[in-house]
A and B are shown apart, each in its own frame.
Chain A
Amino acid sequence: MAKIFDIKHFAVHDGPGIRTTVFFKGCPLRCAWCHNPEGLEFVTQTAFFAHKCIGCGRCREEGFAETDCLGGARVVYGREVTVGDILPELLEDSDFYGENGGVTLSGGECLMQADFCAELLCELKKNGINTAVDTCGFVPRAAIDKVAPYTDIFLYDVKAADADVHIRCTGQSNGIIIENLKYIDSLDKSIEIRIPYVPGYNDGEMGKIGELLAPLKNLRGVRILPYHPYYEGKYAALGYLAPADIKVPAEESLAAARAELQKHLGGLVL
């Protein structure tokens, strides 16, 4: 049994090809710019999207369940599922996966529910599906050991090379994350690095991240993910305060970041 908050079809930016992505509840980090706030907590949450409320009043009635909300303003994030519950849906799109596409486990942090992930990935491999694990890396090594045999590619987030910067960005140091990254590399597993690029937080880190990644032997690519603000509605709906004062990076600064990474990683920068 695991707790997930969404399954997204036709995901084209969560690994190679056309993919279906499963989003798991709960994350050990608290990134200042998190664009999936509904994945932070492990507990099930109900969000209220005020602009969708049609004033039907059903939520004031006895026995109301969120699914009764006629306007769809109340959204429940979190449902418990078994592998058998979701496997058919993940196989629905197998005709679209082609040579490269498949299923990605994401979150939140999917490896906080590593036993389930291993079971699910194993079933997917039995069905010939390409698998990807999207992780922040702040997980016990045992979690990696559980899923690695059934994982074709790790999509690995690197937010900063400097420990202090990482703490400011995420609330945690990056020691475990860097060790786990090296460990996955030692297992000869394909790795795609994903670097959220957030002005004011980690925009000075690109050179150091490049140095950190250069020795890895199984890198398949390094992708910069520019900060975007298209999540603020979810913060309000969940009763959170949205991050303040983060600016969308300018094209020139993105180009400079890419150039900085390319000094160390050349054509691996996607």
Chain B
Amino acid sequence: MKKIYICDTDREFIENKYHDTKSPFNPHHKFEYHGTISEYSEGLDDAEMRAEMDRFYEEGQGRDRALVKAEAFAFVLDHAKINVSAEDYFPCIYNWGRPLEAPIINKWSDELFSGIDGLTEQIRDYRRAGVADMWLDTAHVVPDWRDILGLGFTGMLERVREYHARFKDEGSLDEKQEAFFTSMEIEYEAILRLIGRIIDYANEHRSDKTELTVAALDGIRRRPPENTFEVLMLMYIYFMCSESIDNYQVRSMGNGFDRALYTYWVRDIESGRFTREEIKTFIAYFFMQFSAIGNYWGQPLYLCSTDYDAVTDISELTLDILEVFDSLDIYNPKIQIKVDESTPDAVLDKALDIVRRGKSSFVFCCVPGMIRALMGCYGTTYEEARDCDISGCNEMHVRADEANMISGILNVSKAVSYVFDNGYDVIYDKQIGIRTGDVTKFASFDEFYSAVIAQLTHLIDEALGMARKYEHYVAEVNPSVMLSATMKRALEKKVDAYAFGVKYPTSSILYNAYATTVDSILAVKELVFDKREATLADFKAALDSNWEGYEWLRQKALRAEHKYGINDGEADVYARALHTWLSMYITGQKNSRGGVYKTGAPSTLHFIKQGKTTKATPDGRRMGEELSKNSAPVIGMERRGVTAMINSALKTLPSLNSEAYVLDVMLHPSAARGEEGLAAMRELVKSYMRRDGVSIQFNVYNAEMLRDAQKNPEKYKNLQVRISGWSILWNDLSPEEQEAYIIRAEGLGNG
């Protein structure tokens, strides 16, 4: 029998705190909603706030943008409506809908892109053709939670003031640097004023819970947090201010949520300040905030099972956290489990048991593989790599000293299409690739393979070229004011963390359709050059006609002997070769922020989106069909089961990807059933971890269940499927996207 940590009334209140659950809700536009709370403090409504933000933009022309942003941020916090209710421990900010984004940040972004000749057009062409999605990303960063919790808001402000005063005394600040420090002071002073306003409001609206709420707010207004509840309260306030007002996502709560709480948790229990059960209750209310906010990508946090020394076992708390999460039956926050040899089986079993019951909000991130990736790809130290943050879905970044941008997602299968069409995109009707010649005249497989690499080289060069044009302006488009104050190196260097204020200002390119590309290359090799059962002219005609009249060739391609994902020697040689080439060609190239590029394999939902504008591919895929997802084999090609699939994947050297690498494992419920099923899942994770895997995630369901869920959505309100590193509710997928998952599940009979 599950314990209940939150009563129905309070749960219903929080579920409706950020949007009305009885009304339609689109999680992709979550900032457009308000909840059903009827009474707030005095403050501005959305229209009034928007007008003020427009004013900040107009009056801010020509001024330092960090200052303009900070003043707008402070204005919002000073004038936002707020609420504290008897049903919740955490307050509510009415104007949480990213009020700075449209009127200020987006306009600065438009100014940037329109100011660079041809950039907007090229980005548009690449996006519409399904070649690459490029954007200005500031969504994959984690603040330095250890400093935030150690110093508190007051200590952070004090530290900024100290640096500011010291540099001022030295006379070493130019105008930009002066604005940098002033902006941080403005924002943190505003946060403290906001906390004061909430306290005042709560004191006028007393309830059973407000005493604790007020005590915690009063504590963190004056000093660093001193108990578990104060830590949670500080995290919540930081999150709301940064994610909602300062426009910087907070891609983890704590540098290890269990680590962040552990010292306070021990102290609270030993001193009798709180009981273990009371702390579980606080965590339940804390988690419910993120469930109610409803980020479609899921609010991430990761668990470590050991303390900051990577040795001390803290898994009692880890298990408490998992128990609370399980009891709530929610999928948001999403949780990553850092796994190494010290991870207790009890933690793995608890998480895997939740996963096999259909709540798939977990990624298992393997510490040894991540260490290899970060040290090997861009030269981090061992300690930096071991202590890295999981920031987002399964991205890995050096804690407190890396500001990363995912610059774009590249559909690498387009390189094969362009070889067949001499660089011309026949769907988009434009020359996008390079002219590699008439494919039907290629005399050898080497010639074909070289042409694919040449097309890939061109597409990557173009993508990096686009990114370099805009990425170094990121701190001008969206100065990272709150974040920079947490990064000591940014303070020492007197510059925004997203400019040059960190040791590792990295950028990333994710590549999509990897297995589709490998299988396409292999199909041409096997059927044209090895077995001579078809010609390149046959393939060109077949792809041009979307296999019309060439079903015989399509069937041969689908049933080709060599496929990625079946532990086939020849296939895996090419899979590894392509993977290595892609990673090594991109990794280490200079970005325009003083750092380097790195790679990742997550395809997000682009395996569907970019598939729509990709013509038929030689692996047997038809035009418009989905591409391969993340690092998984092409659907239906996992014909030798899950272990063969993992063996193939590991041979491609996952840790060449220092941004992210995640392997999807789909299991039929019968394989995950009982003690044996749980033990098998645990062994898969451990084996993958010991053999240099990076991240791994599971979907446990069968096709019949998904078909039923498609017909009877009301029966499956909590069914989740994994997308990239995030889970999404089944009912939030479009019918087309649901179909993609059903097709995958139908392939499970083979494994």
Interface residues of A (CB under 8 A from B): 8-10, 12-13, 16-18, 20, 54, 56, 70-72, 92-93, 95-98, 100-101, 270
Indicate if B59 sits at the interface (CB-CB under 8 A). Answer: no
Taking CB as reference atom, which chain B residue is nearest A13?
B676
Q: Is the pair B677, A72 in contact by a Cβ cutoff of 8 Å?
A: no
For the complex formed, measure the closest distance between the CB of B745 and the CB atoms of chain A, giving whole angstroms.
Answer: 15
Residues of B within 8 A of A92 (CB): 567, 643-644, 647
Q: Is the pair A17, B679 in contact by a Cβ cutoff of 8 Å?
A: yes
Q: Mark B278-321, 1 if CB is under 8 A from A, else 0.
A: 00000000000000000000000000000000000000000000
Most chain B CB within 10 A, of A12, A71, A92, is at A12
Q: A92-B567, A93-B643, A96-B643 are in contact. Are A10 and B680 (CB under 8 A)?
A: yes
Q: Is the pair B683, A17 in contact by a Cβ cutoff of 8 Å?
A: yes
Q: Is the pair B643, A70 in contact by a Cβ cutoff of 8 Å?
A: no
Tell me the bound Cα distance from A101 to B687 in angstroms: 12
Residue in A12, A54, A72, A270 whose beta carbon sits within 8 Å of that of B680 in the complex: A12
Indicate if B223 sits at the interface (CB-CB under 8 A). Answer: no
Q: A12-B679, A71-B555, A72-B559 are in contact. List 11 more A-B contacts (CB 8 A).
A: A9-B751, A17-B676, A17-B680, A20-B643, A56-B555, A70-B555, A92-B643, A95-B690, A96-B643, A98-B687, A100-B679
The 7 closest A-B pairs by CB, nearest first: A70-B555, A9-B641, A12-B680, A93-B643, A98-B683, A10-B641, A10-B643
Residues of A within 8 A of B646 (CB): 96
Q: Is the pair A54, B551 in contact by a Cβ cutoff of 8 Å?
A: yes
Q: Mark B658-689, 1 if CB is under 8 A from A, else 0.
A: 00000000000011000111011001101100
Tell me the bound Cα distance from A241 to B83 in angstroms: 71
For the complex formed, measure the closest distance between the CB of A178 and the CB atoms of chain B, giving whole angstroms.
Answer: 27
Q: Is the pair A70, B556 in contact by a Cβ cutoff of 8 Å?
A: yes
Q: Is the pair B559, A12 in contact by a Cβ cutoff of 8 Å?
A: no
Tell me the bound Cα distance from A71 to B690 in angstroms: 39
Residues of A within 8 A of B555 (CB): 54, 56, 70-71
For the complex formed, measure the closest distance between the CB of A115 and the CB atoms of chain B, giving whole angstroms.
Answer: 28
Residues of A within 8 A of B552 (CB): 56, 70
Residues of A within 8 A of B677 (CB): 12
Would you call the interface of chain B mostly helix, strand, loop, or mixed? Answer: helix
Q: Is the pair A18, B684 in contact by a Cβ cutoff of 8 Å?
A: yes
For the complex formed, measure the closest distance between the CB of A21 and the CB atoms of chain B, giving whole angstroms.
Answer: 11
Tell me the bound Cα distance from A93 to B644 in angstroms: 8
Residues of A within 8 A of B559 (CB): 70, 72
Indicate if B642 sits at the interface (CB-CB under 8 A). Answer: yes
Most chain A CB within 10 A, of B551, B567, B683, is at B683
Tell me the bound Cα distance from A17 to B690 in angstroms: 17
Tell me the bound Cα distance from A252 to B371 in angstroms: 51
Q: Number of B residues contacting the other chain (C-beta, 8 Å)? A: 27
Indicate if B691 sits at the interface (CB-CB under 8 A). Answer: yes
Residues of B within 8 A of A8 (CB): 641
19 A-B contact pairs sorted by A residue (CB < 8 Å): A9-B640, A9-B642, A9-B751, A10-B643, A12-B680, A17-B676, A18-B643, A18-B684, A54-B551, A54-B555, A56-B551, A70-B559, A92-B644, A93-B647, A95-B687, A96-B684, A98-B686, A98-B687, A101-B683
For the complex formed, measure the closest distance between the CB of B277 and the CB atoms of chain A, giving whole angstroms.
Answer: 32
Tell me the bound Cα distance from A97 to B679 in angstroms: 11
Tell me the bound Cα distance from A17 to B678 in angstroms: 10
Tell me the bound Cα distance from A12 to B679 in angstroms: 9
Most chain B CB within 10 A, of A10, A95, A97, A101, is at A10
Residues of A within 8 A of B670 (CB): 13
Tell me the bound Cα distance from A10 to B84 in angstroms: 53
Tell me the bound Cα distance from A92 to B645 in angstroms: 12
Residues of A within 8 A of B647 (CB): 92-93, 95
Tell me the bound Cα distance from A22 to B61 in angstroms: 74
For the complex formed, measure the closest distance between the CB of B404 and the CB atoms of chain A, giving whole angstroms.
Answer: 32
Residues of A within 8 A of B671 (CB): 10, 12
Residues of A within 8 A of B680 (CB): 10, 12, 17-18, 101
Residues of B within 8 A of A17 (CB): 676, 679-680, 683
The B213-229 residues at the A interface (CB cut-off 8 A) are none
Taking CB as reference atom, which chain B residue is nearest A8?
B641
Tell me the bound Cα distance from A97 to B686 in angstroms: 11
For the complex formed, measure the closest distance between the CB of B683 and the CB atoms of chain A, giving whole angstroms.
Answer: 5
Residues of A within 8 A of B567 (CB): 92
For the complex formed, measure the closest distance between the CB of A162 and the CB atoms of chain B, giving whole angstroms.
Answer: 29
For the complex formed, measure the closest distance between the CB of A36 and the CB atoms of chain B, giving whole angstroms.
Answer: 15
Residues of A within 8 A of B686 (CB): 98
Q: Is the pair A18, B551 in contact by a Cβ cutoff of 8 Å?
A: no
Most chain B CB within 10 A, of A16, A20, A98, A270, is at A98
Tell me the bound Cα distance from A93 to B640 in angstroms: 12
Taking CB as reference atom, which chain A residue is nearest B642?
A10
Tell me the bound Cα distance from A254 to B638 in angstroms: 34
Taking CB as reference atom, which chain B residue is nearest A72?
B559
Tell me the bound Cα distance from A92 to B646 in angstroms: 11
Tell me the bound Cα distance from A92 to B684 in angstroms: 14
For the complex formed, measure the closest distance between the CB of A218 and the CB atoms of chain B, giving whole angstroms.
Answer: 20
Q: Mark B731-751, 1 if CB is under 8 A from A, else 0.
A: 000000000000000000001
Most chain A CB within 10 A, of B552, B567, B640, B643, is at B643
Tell me the bound Cα distance from A98 to B689 in angstroms: 13
Residue in B640, B641, B679, B691 whose beta carbon sits within 8 Å of that of A95 in the complex: B691
Residues of B within 8 A of A56 (CB): 551-552, 555
For the complex formed, measure the closest distance between the CB of A254 and the CB atoms of chain B, giving whole angstroms.
Answer: 13
Residues of A within 8 A of B691 (CB): 95
Tell me the bound Cα distance from A54 to B647 in angstroms: 32
Q: Is the pair A9, B643 in contact by a Cβ cutoff of 8 Å?
A: yes
Tell me the bound Cα distance from A12 to B670 in angstroms: 9
For the complex formed, measure the closest distance between the CB of A173 and the CB atoms of chain B, giving whole angstroms.
Answer: 32
Taking CB as reference atom, which chain B residue is nearest A20?
B643
Residues of B within 8 A of A70 (CB): 551-552, 555-556, 559
For the complex formed, measure the closest distance between the CB of B372 and the CB atoms of chain A, giving whole angstroms.
Answer: 17
Residues of A within 8 A of B751 (CB): 9-10
Q: A9-B643, A56-B552 are in contact. Are A16 and B684 (CB under 8 A)?
A: no
Residue in B551, B556, B644, B683 whose beta carbon sits within 8 Å of that of A9 in the complex: B644
The B479-534 residues at the A interface (CB cut-off 8 A) are none
Taking CB as reference atom, which chain A residue is nearest B567?
A92
Residues of B within 8 A of A98 (CB): 683, 686-687
Q: Mark B548-561, 1 if CB is under 8 A from A, else 0.
A: 00011001100100
For the complex formed, measure the closest distance between the CB of B9 and the CB atoms of chain A, giving whole angstroms.
Answer: 35
Tell me the bound Cα distance from A95 to B649 in angstroms: 14
Q: Is the pair B683, A96 in contact by a Cβ cutoff of 8 Å?
A: yes
